[in-house]
Amino acid sequence: MNQDAQFKRHTLITITMASFLTPFMGSAINLAIPAIGEQFNAGAMHLSWVVTSYILASAAFLVPFGRLADIVGRKKVFVAGVASFSLFSFLCGLAKSVEMLILFRVLQGIGSAMVFSTAMAILTSVFPPQERGKILGINVATVYIGLSLGPVLGGTLNHNLGWQSIFYFCVLISLAVIIMSLTKLKGEWAGARGESYDLAGAVLYSVGLVAFMYGISSITTSTWSGYIFIAGLIILAIFIRHEMKTEYPVLNLKLFSGNIAFGFSNLAALINYSATFAVSFLLSLFLQVIMGYNSQQAGLILLAQPVLMALLSPFAGKLSDRVQPRIVASWGMALSTLGLFIFVFLTEQTPIWFVLINLALLGIGFALFSSPNSNAVMGSVEKKYYGIASSTLGTMRLAGQAVSMTIATLIIAMFVGSVEFNQADVSQLSQSIKTAFIVFAITCLAGIFASLARGDINSGGMPQRN
């Protein structure tokens, strides 16, 4: 194996190991939510924030760190992010209250943002365009392997060693990534070295997005949430005005207005994750609280979805190198819509084989959407914009995840209130889960049209002009 091939191999291994961490943490924590609630006597709103706080922090800081990485070097930011993720994962395991756990989850999310903003950009910088779909497919498959192992290994760790062991396991993986990064990952890939950093824009973006999302998330529990939401909108409007006048903006908004493929591909990602991320959260509650399975059993059932995602993602990525990404991704979105609609009919009497088959259908839909959509985003911009494209796609994904959890939380709060899940009326909880799936199915249906509207990407990777 020549040096170039060996370097590519080491880069792929390092990045995919890091890409494994966040989805594993997310899916594993979903299975531990009832145990965390029991230990801390926490209600539905606090427990949802154990999940949402991490996602929100990641979304708020991803673009600012992505821009910083373009200036100071992507490897520096990547390694610092993995180290931060490791430290705060360890502290999450030591948390003595649900409030302390949420705080450390916020800090863990900031570390995750540093990883998210650089991982895909490093891959697309190292590998040539003709290999992009295949490599992104492998990376997406690793993400889904994390999702696959999360319910199984996370459920087993939670069941036998306690929920804290999930965080400690992530510390071990993080340390391995740091060693690989320092010894095998050669290069910095600082495409904007020497340009000034838009600190004002970064602050406006982070504060505005946090205020906007917090206002939505807390609308049923805080009288101030409406004002915070409006404040977030105002701050984001100021941010957009500021960015349009700045020579070196933290987020290049012209990519959205002048590039249809880039804009609609990101919109499709936002809609897809808004409609699908809370599925495992809802099904975890359904399987454990309503159907009476323990966390380990629920994890094995939920495995059906991400296993198919992991198996099919490399194939879908390679397919999108030959067939227009919008076609493959739109079929994926359509299958996801069908799967979400079928889950509307869940009841206590639903046979488990029915749940497994529909989870498999969702897994196929997710696989067909994710890597082709990532290929469309990265293929719709020039190489100098890879960092921006990677950060923007990551922001759409994380913002969509936060929106998804917000919708699920609001609907559950409407039916159940803030009581602990083990005290909730089963019929009310079941009705809230059904309602959430109705909302998500309609949302995903709209995403099919956004996916189709993006247009074609030519063989050189850029949008075709009609």
DSSP state of 315: H
Q: Which CATH superfamily is domain 3-197+248-452 in?
A: MFS general substrate transporter like domains (1.20.1250.20)
pLDDT at 405 exceeding the cut of 60: yes
User: How far is the C-alpha of 32 from the C-alpha of 442, rounded, in Å?
Assistant: 29
Average pLDDT over residues 253-272: 84
Q: What is the pLDDT of residues 71-124, one digit of tens each?
A: 888 888 889 999 999 999 999 988 888 888 999 999 998 998 888 888 888 887
Element (DSSP H or E) covering residue 234 = helix 225-245
Dihedral over Cα of 15, 17, 21, 27: its sign: positive
Q: What is the pLDDT of residues 158-210, one digit of tens each?
A: 878 888 888 999 999 999 999 888 887 777 776 677 788 888 999 999 999 88
Residue 388's pLDDT is 74
Nearest to 282 by CA among 420, 383, 108, 430: 430
Instruction: Find the Cα–Cα–Cα–Cα dihedral 254, 240, 215, 65, rounded to 10°.
Output: 70
End-to-end Cα separation, the chain, in angstroms: 43
State which amino acid sits at residue 77: V
Confidence of residue 465 (pLDDT cuts 50, 70, 90): very low
User: How far is the C-alpha of 73 from the C-alpha of 81, rounded, in Å?
Assistant: 13
Every domain of the chain and the residues it spans = 3-197+248-452, 198-247
pTM: 0.77
Structure tokens at 423: 């005290």
Q: Are 202 and 70 in contact (CB under 8 A)?
A: no
Residue 421's pLDDT is 55
pLDDT at 439 exceeding the cut of 90: yes
* Residue 72 exposure: Cα atoms within 13 Å on the Cβ side: 13
Structure tokens at 217: 């998330």
User: How far is the C-alpha of 150 from the C-alpha of 152, rounded, in Å?
Assistant: 6
DSSP state of 153: I
